[in-house]
Structure 1
Amino acid sequence: MITQKTSVALLSILFFCCVINAQSYEKKMDSLIKTEFNDPAGPGGVFMVSHKGKNMYRKAFGKANLELDAAMTPENVFQIGSMTKQFTAVAILMLEQQGKLNVNDPISKYIKDYPSGDKITIHQLLTHTSGIKDFTKMKTISTIAQKEMKPEMMVDFFKNEPVDFSPGDKFEYNNSGYVVLGYIIELASGQTYEDFIKKNIFEKAGMSHSYYATDRQIIPKRAYGYHQKEHGFVNKTVISFSVPFSSGSLMSTADDMLKWQKALNQNTLLNPAETQKAFRKYPLNNGEEFNYGYGWHLKDINGIPDREHGGSIFGFKSMGVYIPSEDIYVIGLSNCDCHSPTEIVRKLAKITLESVKK
């Protein structure tokens, strides 16, 4: 017979074990992150892990601004680079849901003079299978890097380059495709890309600390970006955000990125059928499937499927991993392109997966 005294003792032991496990988990996470983010006086980062919508880990490392000696906080705003592609892909699916476009449409339906535009579909732009030239690999990129470019000018910059392969023949990661998608979003919606993302995604998901990147506007709690040189850290190279545009020009926080993940899970932005289009694998022309949906790499951790994407832009790197079966989301944001959170975030996800499955 279990007495009240025994029950209290058992509960005390259980509570003590939970505290010990939580402390052990936190130490493992700290130790892993500090293998890369180990200079408290240098640029740093923010890492957050959530399980079923609740934070299991949320910490900042290093400095948000070296000149002001300002410590990083979990609330700091970072440029997220190519994680922008998730938002561009969902914006396209929102327009499809509204009946303003179809992912199987040829891009010539929207951009009349695009070379061979009748053979390239929106779907192929989303999945990096279009074959069009990636503008970041063009030698002339330096001539426009600091110019204010309209979306049409950006498309004109690369559209006449020879294609790398026939549409649908292979998967090859491509920034140009997502710039074209941003231009199509503007043409189909009648809004600028910035306004469309702000009104239809940021505001609906409650992402009040997310922005289209700018170096001029005052961004509260902005983390400043850095490069590392032989003699030490330097401020990031200045570029015009109209160049990466819809392929890499958004800013956000770890907390807002969790709100983004929740909005996707709860079908706040899209109906379930449209949402699932982003998270399924598609075949190439030869029938072979590849590990990318619309704006997400579809991989696995310990054999359990995940959705992930990283980002890299002057002065910043980012990485996010989501494990749907366990509702685990891990985000890492860095304000120096010398520190990559990619492998750390994947390892944090693995540790968390093992922890919640115990």
Structure 2
Amino acid sequence: MKKIIILLSTIITLITAQDLQKTVQSTVTIYSEESNNTGILLLTEEKGSTFKASAGLADRKSKEEIHTDDLFEIGSASKMFTAIAIFQLIEQGKLSLDTSLGKLYPKGKIRALANFKGKNYWDDVTVGMLLNHTSGFIDYLNVYGDDAKAIEIYSDKSKVYTFDTIIDLALNFGDANFKPGTAFKYCNTGYIILGDIISKVSGMNWHDFIEKHIFDKAGVKRTYFGTRLPEGIRKKMPKGYIFGKLTSMPMALADSAGEIVSNLDDLTRLIDTWKEGGYYKKDETLQIQKTQGYHRMDPAITNMNYGYGLMEIDGYYGHGGQTFGFESYVTTNPDNNNTYIVGTNDAMVRSMALFMKMAGIEYKYFPEH
């Protein structure tokens, strides 16, 4: 009798797993078909099982299909790992959330980023404000207010992007948006500075620091920085699109705000290692990052918040990303242990929307909205 019960339990588990796999694949296929056969990649960890699905095209010209082990640009999902590196340095006593940028950059033109209404607030800006987008700095990637114009300007392959030239891009568009610490406004410029801070404080190039202290700890093998991606591997990646056109993003332009390239399996290892506290020596560090510093990303939406390098929505922690040709969403829920990784090779096909559909989450609005 005991053997029969075990056998029945195993059969039920197998049927449930098969049904879930069919649901995952069907959802991804429909999402791709509704998005002009965009390449869609999805990994879910639910109920102790892992399911992967892919649909759509890696190359619209050759009609080559996308596959679950393909690499894709994760864009701003990279910010989560930049933030983790900062918290590791905080654990080492080399920084704090309250460390002033005035201490780290006592002079130089960079200080003008904090000019606001005739006064300079540079010394009031902290590392924590860079992490949770409350510095008020101009976002160098979103100064044009038009994606098509930004892509046209920033795709110029003759331009060389460095820390200084990126800071200049932000400085060229005038004063800060607000006095630091008084509001939330998403800002890539802050994460460019955080990368430089990692290099400055650790004594290692920020790429090397993240590789050693994050990639190696998670045991990933197919995660790269876009500026260091071997050309042979780059050529095998899915093509990226926006507005129906083939495009590419200079990875040096994204820098520590968004230049990581990875795949479903590696991203799962990376975020699950974070969830398990594997990057930190103290659980307190994980709890501070997970629970503090939050602001609503949209004043009208009550369940979507941004903290110290984390987007939080209904108990899921992670980050989304967009480059000139890709979209991503990487997120996990420590309470139910579910993880979702989404990638698309069209910058206008939203990965977050697919995650929310799979997780059964809807935006919650204030009554007046």
* Range into which the TM-score falls when normalised by the shorter chain: 0.7 to 0.9
39 and 164 in structure 1: CA distance in 2 versus 1, 3 angstrom threshold? closer
Tell me what 1:81 maps to.
Answer: 75
Mean Cα displacement is larger for which, 153-162 or 102-111?
153-162
Tell me what 1:354 maps to.
Answer: none
Tell me what 2:182 maps to.
Answer: 169
Q: May I ask how many residue pairs the two structures share in their alignment?
A: 334
Q: Describe the superposition over 1:244-279 as per-residue Cα deviations: whole angstroms up to 9, x where unpaired.
A: 211111111111111112321333321222222221
Tell me what 1:328 maps to.
Answer: 338
177 and 295 in structure 1: CA distance in 2 versus 1, 3 angstrom threshold? same
Q: Secondary structure of the residue that 2:306 maps to in structure 1?
A: coil
Is 1:188 aligned to 2:182, yes or no?
no
Which amino acid counterpart does residue 73 of structure 1 have in structure 2?
H
Tell me what 2:325 maps to.
Answer: 315
Tell me what 1:120 maps to.
Answer: 125
Task: Please report how far the alpha carbon of residue 217 of structure 1 lies from its aligned counterpart in structure 2 after TM superposition.
Answer: 2.6
Q: Secondary structure of the residue that 1:60 maps to in structure 2?
A: strand
Contact 2:38–2:56 (Cα < 8 Å) also in 1: yes
Distance in 1, matches of 2:329 and 2:140, equals 22
Q: Secondary structure of the residue that 2:182 maps to in structure 1?
A: coil
Tell me what 2:286 maps to.
Answer: 275
Is 1:256 aligned to 2:245, yes or no?
no
* TM-score between both structures, scaled by the size of structure 1: 0.84
Superposition pairs of residues 63-142 of structure 1, within 5 angstroms: 63-112=57-106, 113=108, 114-115=111-112, 116-139=121-144
* TM-score between both structures, scaled by the size of structure 2: 0.81
Note the aligned Cα RMSD (angstroms).
2.8
131 and 332 in structure 1: CA distance in 2 versus 1, 3 angstrom threshold? same
Distance in 1, matches of 2:137 and 2:348, equals 29
Task: Please report how far the alpha carbon of residue 313 of structure 1 lies from its aligned counterpart in structure 2 after TM superposition.
Answer: 0.7
Distance in 2, matches of 1:208 and 1:349, equals 28
Superposition pairs of residues 51-66 of structure 1, within 5 angstroms: 51=46, 55-66=49-60
Mean Cα displacement is larger for which, 14-23 or 159-168?
14-23
Q: Describe the superposition over 1:136-194 as per-residue Cα deviations: whole angstroms up to 9, x where unpaired.
A: 22239665554222113212331463111111111221111111111211221222222
Task: Please report how far the alpha carbon of residue 88 of structure 1 lies from its aligned counterpart in structure 2 after TM superposition.
Answer: 0.7
Distance in 2, matches of 1:257 and 1:239, equals 21
107 and 42 in structure 1: CA distance in 2 versus 1, 3 angstrom threshold? same
Which amino acid counterpart does residue 291 of structure 2 have in structure 1?
R
Is 1:199 aligned to 2:204, yes or no?
no
Distance in 1, matches of 2:344 and 2:154, equals 26
Q: Secondary structure of the residue that 1:291 maps to in structure 2?
A: strand
Task: Please report how far the alpha carbon of residue 92 of structure 1 lies from its aligned counterpart in structure 2 after TM superposition.
Answer: 0.8
Residue 162 of structure 2: which of 150, 153, 169 is its match?
150
Distance in 1, matches of 2:165 and 2:245, equals 31
Gaps of 5+ in 1: 352-358
Q: Describe the superposition over 1:97-122 as per-residue Cα deviations: whole angstroms up to 9, x where unpaired.
A: 22222221111222223133201101
Contact 2:29–2:56 (Cα < 8 Å) also in 1: no
Task: Please report how far the alpha carbon of residue 310 of structure 1 lies from its aligned counterpart in structure 2 after TM superposition.
Answer: 1.1
Q: Describe the superposition over 1:315-347 as per-residue Cα deviations: whole angstroms up to 9, x where unpaired.
A: 100012211111111111111224222111122
Residue 24 of structure 2: which of 25, 29, 39 is its match?
29
Gaps of 5+ in 2: 113-120, 362-369
Which amino acid counterpart does residue 123 of structure 1 have in structure 2?
G
Mean Cα displacement is larger for which, 268-277 or 307-316?
268-277
Contact 1:145–1:243 (Cα < 8 Å) also in 2: no
Distance in 2, matches of 1:217 and 1:242, equals 15
Distance in 1, matches of 2:89 and 2:68, equals 33
